[in-house]
Amino acid sequence: MIIPCHNEEGNIPILVEKILNEIDHYDKEIILIDDGSTDGTLDAIKNVAANHQAVKYIQFSKNFGHQNAIKAGLDLSKGAAVIMMDADLQHPPKTLKALLEKWKEGYEIVYTQRKDHQALSFTKKITAYFFYKILNWLSGLKLDHSTADFRLLDRKVVDVVKNFHESDLFWRGITFWLGFKRAKISYQAEDRFSGTTKYPFSKMLSFAIKGITSFSVKPLRLSTIMGVIISALSLIYAAYAIALYIFTDRPVEGWTSLLVCILFLG
Ligand code: UDP
Ligand code: MG
């Protein structure tokens, strides 16, 4: 299990306890990644690690972000299957068994879809909806809406992604793009147990842009095409202005040179 934690001190003891209850009979390791927390998260992690042999941790030197914390966890994980989940109990530990069941059936990626529920704010629902619409349109991926970084990866998949040297990680896209035998399960999201969201609107927007630009060349193509069209139109207009200057006496003094300069620079 890998769990990125950024200022989650109030969630860690109960989260670990619930996970251990759910998958008690499995041979397991729980890797908690302290992603530059400024509260008592690291102490809480050390505390559970001292009490449970299965718990290990990684301490980041500063906040590197959720997606990088997942990468660090994957790099260090040793299990035959690896599950990543949030630390705030929104991804309910009671779903773990269903993930493992699917894996035992032979699926190599088991991802999850949140059944939308009332606890999610209206803005979260609406921004998530548009995010997936735009991302899928631009990238040609067919990501399911309401999927989060709550999924199981078989060792085979983990070994592949460990060799990824992407600097802008976007696990939803990467794990979709990889292929492999995939299965989906639905879960009822819980409320955040304690603390506040680490994804305010500004961060969500930059996450969305990262997702779109790392999986699509469409924005680049679009700007190239628009640039070519605008240049062509400018060229035609400049030619027209020059023709007016040469063949008529209509242009005001200085208009042609000024216009051609502006069009060229523009
Ligand atoms: N997280 C992290 N580093 C960050 C931001 C978030 O490790 O810079 C972790 C956070 O502790 C949580 C998970 O990523 O375990 C998802 O964050 P959060 O629950 O705040 O996002 P939300 O569910 O509100 O979208
Ligand atoms: Mg959350």
Those residues whose C-beta lies under 8 Å from the C-beta of residue 127, and which sit 6 or more positions away, are 201, 204, 208
The number of the ligand 1 atom at minimal distance from the alpha carbon of 86 is 15
Would you say residue 197 has pLDDT above 90? no
Nearest CA to ligand 1 atom 24: 197
Find the 23 Cα to ligand 1 centroid distance in Å. 23
> Treating both helix axes as pointing N-terminal to C-terminal, what angle do 122-139 and 218-247 enclose, rounded to 10 degrees?
70
Write out the two tokens for 121: 């704010």
| Closest to 2 (Cα-Cα) out of 61, 87, 65, 80 | 87
- pLDDT at position 118 is 61
Of residues 202 and 235, the one with the higher pLDDT is 235
pLDDT tens per residue across span 54-91: 999 999 999 999 999 999 999 999 999 999 999 999 99
190-220 residues labelled b (16+ CB within 10 A) or e (exposed): bebeebeebeeeeebeebbebbbbbbbeeee
The preferred substitution site among 2, 6, 57, 151 for testing ligand 1, maximizing ligand atoms within 8 Å of CB, is 6
- Per-residue pLDDT reduced to its tens digit, 82-115: 999 999 999 999 999 999 999 999 999 999 998 8
Confidence of residue 126 (pLDDT cuts 50, 70, 90): confident
pLDDT of residue 117: 64
Q: What's the whole-number average pLDDT of the chain? A: 90
Nearest ligand, measured from the Cα of 204:
1
pLDDT at 120 over 80: no
C-alpha 155/C-alpha 109 separation (Å) is 10
Angle at 227 between CA 221 and CA 230, to 5 degrees: 140
